[in-house]
Structure 1
Amino acid sequence: MKILLIGASGYVGSAVAEHLEGAGHQVVELARPGDGESSRRRERRVGDLTDPRSLTSAVTADIDAVVNLATPTGDAEADANAVAALTDPLRGSGRAFVYTSGVWVLGATGPGPVDESSPTNPIPIVGYRPRIERQVLDTAEHGVRTSVIRPGIVHGRGGGIPALLVDLARKHGAPTFIGEESVRWPMVHIDDLADLFVAVVERAPAGTLWHGVCEPAVTVHDLVSAAGRAAGISARPQAWPLDEAREALGAPFADALALDQSVSGAAAREKLGWQPQRQGAVADLLDGSYR
């Protein structure tokens, strides 16, 4: 398949591009005007999420699927217009469109784990995202093989939020958490998540939603303790007062890091044959890519 990938240069997007190519697909990068040249010398097209016409013109007849891994603009109308612009050329063709959301749309889950049938209760940082998800899924009625993937907290390759935990341990001189130590995060290794994107592009039915989660609920206590060791710090975990974290990180992001969730990724295993096989988040921090 020839796949237009939006966000190919990002943390997750670069891994997804590698895995799509490893599965035999041709990746076409959508780059913003003025972006540097592709290091992999892939075919590049120019477009911007705030310019719907540029997006529509990039989805030519030779494109078999579109994967949107771009960071949302923060403007609900702009993001809705971008989805419409990317999917309009696909209507009636049965070609695939995959949209990337995230588990924060579920809000605090209680004991869990919750699955794809659970209602959304988004926290402010992703407040309008469920409306975009619904728009994407409803487009299946118009002959587009649409899917939404909600990744958990991504780890691996030394990046993502776990890298922030390592930096915070160094900065504070101790493993540092926001909120309660008992808070749990759903985790996914970046390369397992990239495998899920391949599976969804290749064989997910139209109008389907998938949780990209390997470990449903890893305690922040265990994560920050491992991050401290990765930073060479053996002190006990300490709380970072929420008001101070909000001041440093911004309230929406700080509140997201204090969110307690337990989320199941079993549906993708059972229905798509997704087989996560990389090490878990704590092991990755202790002995893997963060050392």
Structure 2
Amino acid sequence: MKVLLTGATGYIGSAVTDHLGAAGHQVVALVRGAEPQPGRGWYAQLVGDTADPASLAGAVTPDIEAVIHLAPPSGDAATDLAVIEALTAPLRGTGRPFVYTSGVWVLGATGEDQEVGEERPTDPIDIVGYRPRIERRVLAEAAEGVRAVVVRPGIVYGRGGGIPAILVDRARLQGVPEYYGEAGVRWPTVHVDDLAELFVAAVYFAEAGTVWHGVGESAVPVRELARAAGQVAGVTTAPHAVPAADAAAVFGPLFADALALDQSVSGAAARTALGWQPTRPGAVAELTSGSYAG
């Protein structure tokens, strides 16, 4: 299968490239520049920019059998909607998959509810305020003969990257492990390689008009992640809670609120319906003895 992949140079995109290739697929990477990028594992690269929807005209050629849209949002809803139009219009009436990447932050704080599923109404925090609108636009393509699917990853870790790497860097810089918001904050997490396998499974098996939570662990205490990040950084003091208002001075208010968001989210539906089986170490174990260590 020939798969067009946006965001192919990114953290998640690199893992998805690896797993698509391992499954025998050919990755056509949509990139901003024409300079060759050897070693990426791509079948081909195509110049285009998701900040410029007009540049995507002709990107989805008849030989493209699936599209995975991993590129981050532009920050402008009209631009992102135009990108969805450009990428899905050539797929209409074909039944071919279009997989869009959202995130669990569209659910907002889950409160006392445990392991909420895909049926929960969205209540997005400000950093992803218009994301549910994009999700709805994607899912509407199911009525047009596109196998349109939304994947909502949790906090992604592994390969030494993602938000947990920020916790390690902050522990080194501050000399104390940090977490943000209240003491009981929890993050739904997923290893980047497990997540990549979910994208492959979604291309194969997900039905049109469906949403899937990419979550390996439903609610990891961020205090424990901070403690593990401190160990990696060689800092043995107890984790320190940083109020979201103070974190805003470092990360900006939108991202600070996201770091302080308490959630418990289930990834069980993808396990049951798509046969997805996350097998990598949990987030705390990965921090202390995996790709972040040493």
Task: Name the TM-score, length of structure 2 as normaliser.
Answer: 0.97
Percentage of pairs with the same residue: 62
Which residue number in structure 2 is paired with residue 114 of structure 1?
A: 116
Shift of 1:205: 0.8
Residue aligned with 1:282, SS = helix
Which residue number in structure 2 is paired with residue 33 of structure 1?
A: 33
Instruction: Rate the CA distance shift 1:139–1:13 in 2: closer, same or farther, 3 A.
Output: same
Which residue number in structure 2 is paired with residue 183 of structure 1?
A: 185
1:63 maps to 2:64: yes
Match among 213, 238, 245 for residue 247 of structure 2: 245
Which residue number in structure 2 is paired with residue 227 of structure 1?
A: 229
1:256 maps to 2:287: no
Counterpart mapping for 1:136-215 below 5 A: 136-215=138-217
Distance 1:51 1:35 in 2: 19
Residue aligned with 2:57, SS = helix
Shift of 1:243: 2.5
Matched residue type, 1:55: L
Which residue number in structure 1 is paired with residue 18 of structure 2?
A: 18
Residue aligned with 2:143, SS = helix
Distance 1:163 1:262 in 2: 21
Shift of 1:128: 0.2
Asked if 1 retains the 8 angstrom alpha-carbon contact of 2:182 and 2:243, the reply is no
Shift of 1:21: 0.7
Asked if 1 retains the 8 angstrom alpha-carbon contact of 2:216 and 2:278, the reply is yes
Shift of 1:86: 0.3
Distance 2:273 2:243 in 1: 42
Asked if 2 retains the 8 angstrom alpha-carbon contact of 1:56 and 1:89, the reply is no
1:200-259 CA deviation, whole Å, 9 max, x = no partner?
Answer: 011111111000000000001111011101111110111223222101111000010000
Higher mean C-alpha displacement, 127-136 vs 36-45: 36-45
Distance 1:33 1:78 in 2: 20
1:144-186 CA deviation, whole Å, 9 max, x = no partner?
Answer: 0010000000010000000000011111111101111210000
1:216 maps to 2:227: no
Instruction: Rate the CA distance shift 1:102–1:203 in 2: closer, same or farther, 3 A.
Output: same
Shift of 1:38: 4.5
Counterpart mapping for 1:256-275 below 5 A: 256-275=258-277
Which residue number in structure 2 is paired with residue 100 of structure 1?
A: 101
Asked if 2 retains the 8 angstrom alpha-carbon contact of 1:230 and 1:285, the reply is yes
Distance 1:245 1:36 in 2: 39
Residue aligned with 2:188, SS = strand
Matched residue type, 2:240: Q
Which residue number in structure 2 is paired with residue 2 of structure 1?
A: 2
Distance 1:96 1:241 in 2: 42
Distance 2:96 2:170 in 1: 43
Asked if 2 retains the 8 angstrom alpha-carbon contact of 1:150 and 1:212, the reply is yes
**Which blocks of at least 5 consecutive residues in structure 1 are unaligned?**
none
Residue aligned with 1:79, SS = helix
Higher mean C-alpha displacement, 35-44 vs 118-127: 35-44
Which residue number in structure 2 is paired with residue 123 of structure 1?
A: 125
Matched residue type, 2:101: T
Shift of 1:9: 0.7
1:83 maps to 2:84: yes
Shift of 1:31: 0.7
Matched residue type, 1:229: Q
Residue aligned with 1:39, SS = coil
Which residue number in structure 2 is paired with residue 278 of structure 1?
A: 280
**Which blocks of at least 5 consecutive residues in structure 2 are unaligned?**
none
Asked if 2 retains the 8 angstrom alpha-carbon contact of 1:226 and 1:285, the reply is yes
Distance 2:179 2:231 in 1: 14
1:61-83 CA deviation, whole Å, 9 max, x = no partner?
Answer: 00000000001100000000000
